[in-house]
Structure 1
Amino acid sequence: MGVAVGEHAVREARRREPTASFLVVEAGHVPGDGAQCWERPAVADVVVVGVCVTGRGVLRAGDMPLGLHSGTAFVLPSGTPQSYRGDPRDPWSIWWLHVTGRLTAALLSVVVPEGGPKVVSIDDPYRTAWTMRDVLRTLEQDESHPALVEASASSWELLSGLAGRPARAGGRAGPGEVVRAHIDAHLDRPLKVTELARMVNLSESRFSAVFRMTTGMSVTAYVKQQRMLRARELLRTSSHLVTDIAALVGYTDPHYFSRQFHAMHGHSPTAYRLQVAPAGSSGEPDSPGTPTLAPTPSPGM
């Protein structure tokens, strides 16, 4: 599940700057098909920051239950015991970091001025997870001081980026967040505005206005954005065919998916995959066949 920096490397890092001030000591990931329930004891002087990329569940931080779903990040002060329970009907994928150091408490006071655990909504959970993945890979491969400086700098930037975001008390979500969580968890399915409005007991017109007010975009634009975010993640991290990725993000017509992807990113899906692929890997041809799933009709939502 995670990779922890060795005790000797931690001791050495605590003697040198900048890692004496801020140091990442562990990084980990639980995929959607991984363990969905686990517990972590309280650890002094270690702050936990994590992101739920897909799925949903409940994180109990001490005595406080926090609802997590796709697109939420969490920050837990040091000394917080944790219990994680993913929803078996909608398994979650979570990334996390453990950080420590002399400046951690000062940064935490800015990120969580109200004190206690904090859950926030973030715009791009995949980008956050990508940063955590890079930190994890660094810790897996190298515990030298330069490598720890690089990983800790990325962790500092990630944690400080949560400052100023309003906390969702107790993880309780408003109507906009409820719908966004549903959309993010069901990108491979038809998503109709009328049904989304019914979920939060609002008329279609009122719901559309509330959604635009809370997200800055229409429901249709948000769905397209999230589908493309998911497609980019799958292109970067999986070996799925482009036709399968199209279906997994809600496009029954893979040719239409490729046109939409190119219009948004300036590259075809395969060209994008080749651009971000590690050295030595290869993409696969943009020759969409018959998709393996049957999600939403194109070109609608």
Structure 2
Amino acid sequence: MPAAAHARAENTGFAGQRVCVVPLPQVATALRRPATRQLTVVHAGYYRRAAGHTRERGKGTRDVIVILCIAGTGTVEVGGTSHPVGPLSYAVLPAFTPHTYRASADNPWTIWWVHLRGTGLGDLTRVLMRDGRPVTRVRSVGHAVALFDELLTLLERRLSPAHILASSGVAWQLLTRLAADGALPSEDSPLDRAIRYLEARVDGTVRVDDLAALVGLSTSHLTAQFRKATGGGPGAFHTGLKMARARTLLDTTTKTIGEIARAVGYTDALYFSRQFRRHHGISPSSYRAQAKG
């Protein structure tokens, strides 16, 4: 019997579709195992130009559903509110939440999708749904598509405990990749330009007012965007870049502490050492002396 016989399609009619469903007894077994109880794939698939694709679940489902749109458009409805879904975006539908989703009639979406269960999905779902929104745009979908393809290929090949375990690992990486990518600023947005400007000037000093003017935002607006995206203001972000560069130089060169301080924009080696200790809890010299690897 071919491996594909282990799978059954949720629906049919989409040219080139791929669907694999893990039998519920195997899902139940995986959810009892330590390595997969936090996240187990229930079923997953790929639909290309899915004209007429629609689902309406008045009571939701036990699964967390993640839909990645790579072309075309559609909508998801959660809590009575409709949210458009287009290319470079993903939708998250929490478990036990009434929802509807459908492809648009004039430009039906092409999507990868997965249904998941597990004890670790609550926190991860909240991270994926930034500000509680069910739909999030991402910068690119290449890595996520590769992970979806790997996940489906694993399940299509065989539904052994080892393959289910591997698919859980891939799914975890997929969700964290989407969460991380969704948190990044859009390419060439003011925040993206500000971040790239700071990254290019690790060896210098940049005033927040000047940076805000450069990217066309008020200082307060830019600071708010930085805090939302990075957890700190522009100054803290720039200092973090300097500390990362300092660690690299400490680990890979024989430069003196003073030389490293100047390489990351500090004219005063003692001030640099205080900053380094504040971030790492130890001095630059002690950090360099630590055994690593």
Structure 1 segment 117-128 matched on structure 2, within 5 A: 117-128=133-144
Name the structure 2 match of 1:135.
151
2:48 is equivalent to residue 71 of structure 1: no
Contact 1:120 1:165 (C-alpha < 8 Å) held by counterparts: no
Aligned amino acid, residue 92 of structure 1: W
Per the alignment, residue 26 of structure 2 pairs with: 9
104, 108, 114: which one aligns with 2:125: 108
Aligned residue for 2:66, secondary structure, equals strand
Partners in 1 of 2:129 and 2:138 — Cα distance? Answer: 15
Residue 90 of structure 1 and its aligned partner are, at CA, apart by 2.0
- Mapped to 1, the partners of 2:52 and 2:70 lie a distance apart of 14
> Could you tell me which residue of structure 1 aligns to residue 75 of structure 2?
58
Alignment equivalent of 1:28, drawn from 35, 38, 45? 45
Identity %: 26
Deviation at 1:40, TM superposition (A): 4.3
Matched residue of 1:18: which SS?
coil
Unaligned runs of 5+ in 1: 168-175, 181-210, 218-301
Shift of 1:130: 2.6
Q: Which runs of 5+ in 2 are unaligned?
A: 1-10, 12-18, 195-293
Shift of 1:17: 1.8
What CA distance in whole angstroms lies between the structure 2 residues aligned with 1:91 and 1:38?
11
Aligned length: 175
The aligned counterpart of 2:160 is: 144
Which residue of structure 2 aligns with residue 96 of structure 1?
113
Equivalent residues in 2 for 1:1-301 (5 A)?
1=11, 2-32=19-49, 34-41=50-57, 42-112=59-129, 114-115=131-132, 117-163=133-179, 213=190, 216=193
Between the aligned partners of 1:17 and 1:124, the Cα distance in structure 2 is 33
SS of the equivalent of 1:162 reads helix
Higher Cα Rg: structure 1 or 2?
2
Distance (whole Å) between structure 1 residues aligned to residue 108 and residue 75 of structure 2:
11
Query: Structure 2 vs 1, CA of residues 166 and 124 (structure 1 numbering), >3 Å: closer, same or farther?
Result: closer
1:214: Cα distance to partner? 6.3
Distance 1:16 1:166 in 2: 30
Structure 2 Cα separation of the partners of residues 39 and 212 of structure 1? 35
- Aligned Cα RMSD in Å? 2.8
Instruction: Determine the C-alpha separation between the residues in 2 that align with 1:146 and 1:46.
Output: 22
2:144 match: secondary structure? helix
The 2-side partners of 1:120 and 1:80 are apart by 18
